[in-house]
Amino acid sequence: MKARHRRFMWIALGLLVIGVAVTLVLRAFNSNLVFFFTPSQVAENKAPVDRTFRIGGLVTAGSVKRQPDGLTVTFDVTDTAKTIPVTYTGILPDLFKEGKGVVAQGKIGQDGVFRAAEVLAKHDENYMPPEAAEALKNAGKSIDGSMFAGQKAVPTQAPKPN
């Protein structure tokens, strides 16, 4: 084996070791790396209690209600399996819409209502002119299917029958 082959082997081996180490670290910190929890994860008590965290999901169509004070908004966040009611006082982002993705930061109360301190719109990766979107809608096709792309990283284990 020539000296340069040996050097290359050391570099490759080093990279492999670092790669494995980083993978293990990332797996260990998996729950800290997710930006938000889905309503299903909250229902499974995977979200922190008495601590600020973020929930993410789609705003349920028809659930957005403005309170008389004009600033407080209530809406439901759903991942199509579970739903969490959210209340928020403040200005909503422009892309906040019913049926679209949203990420809210706050605490969940005893009553199960999520009190958000900050609401962000989560945008999807679809780009098209308005006419194309209209055509898709008329054809009955969904254009927002990407909200939970990251969910695979946090496998939800099905309860085993005893």
Partner 1 sequence: MSLFKYSSPTAFYPLAGKLVPWFAALAAIFAVIGLYLGLFVAPEDFQQGEVYRIIFIHVPAAWMAMVIYLAMAMYGVMALTFNTRLSAMMMEALAPTGAIFTALALWTGALWGKPTWGTYWAWDARMTSTLILLFLYIGYLALINAIEDKKRADKAGALLVIVGSVNVPIIYFSVKWWNTLHQGASVSVTASPKMAAIMLWAMLIMAIACWTYAITISLVRVRAIILERERGRSHSTRVANTLSATNIVAGS
Would you say 101 and 110 are in contact if contact means Cβ atoms under 8 Å apart? no
| Torsional class of 140: left (φ above 0), alpha (ψ -120 to 50), beta (otherwise) | left
Contact region with partner 1 (CB under 8 A), list: 22-30, 43-51, 68-76, 109-117: 22-30
Nearest to 36 by CA among 149, 112, 158: 149
Rounded to a whole number of angstroms, the minimum distance from the CB of residue 111 to partner 1 is 25
Closer to partner 1 by CB, 13 or 160: give it.
13
Nearest to 103 by CA among 156, 35, 155: 35
The site that binds partner 1 (CB under 8 A) totals a number of residues, namely 50
Rule CB under 8 A: say whether 148 interacts with partner 1: yes
User: In the range 50-109, which residues lie near partner 1 by CB under 8 A?
Assistant: 56, 92-96, 100, 103
Q: 10 Å Cβ neighbour count for 78?
A: 20
| Chain residues in the site for partner 1 (CB under 8 A) | 4, 7-8, 11, 14-15, 18-19, 22, 26, 30, 33-38, 56, 92-96, 100, 103, 118-134, 146, 148-154
